[in-house]
Structure 1
Amino acid sequence: MSPNSLAPGPVRPAAVVNEDIRALWPHPTVRLTDEQRAEYERLVAEWAAAVRSEVVEAA
């Protein structure tokens, strides 16, 4: 997923997005449904954008 495909707007902090990821997938041995997998992928992309944003702000 390219960075441009993310919805514009304020970026949530990476720690907040990470909490959502952990809540969605509480244990690595648990298999996600197709819907959960799509949400996981969206959250990971959002987390990566948040990390990039935090690095740019720190620079």
Structure 2
Amino acid sequence: MSPDSVTRGSVRSAAEVNEQIRALWLRARGSLSSQERVEYELLVVEWAAAIRDEIIQAA
């Protein structure tokens, strides 16, 4: 998943992405490897895009 693919219109809801972020932290037991950190950063970008989309749709 590239950053460009998540910055424009996330297909998943913020809640779905948040659940994946939580699962990542649980699997990592609170300490992310460098690969997990990259995954986490991409998920946070996707989550933020999903939040923006949800706010726009609600307006």
Q: Does the TM-score normalized on the shorter chain lie above 0.5?
A: yes
Gapped regions of structure 2 (runs ≥ 5):
none
Give the TM-score, by structure 1 length.
0.79
Structure 1 or 2: larger helix share? Answer: 2
Residue deviations 1:31-54, cap 9 Å, x none? 100000000000000000000000
Return structure 1 stretches of 4+ with deviation > 3 angstroms.
Answer: none
Residue deviations 1:4-41, cap 9 Å, x none? x53156521000000000000028x7210000000000
Alignment size in residue pairs: 54
Gapped regions of structure 1 (runs ≥ 5):
none
Give the TM-score, by structure 2 length.
0.79
- SS of the counterpart of 2:26? coil
Query: What's the % identity of the aligned pairs?
Result: 54
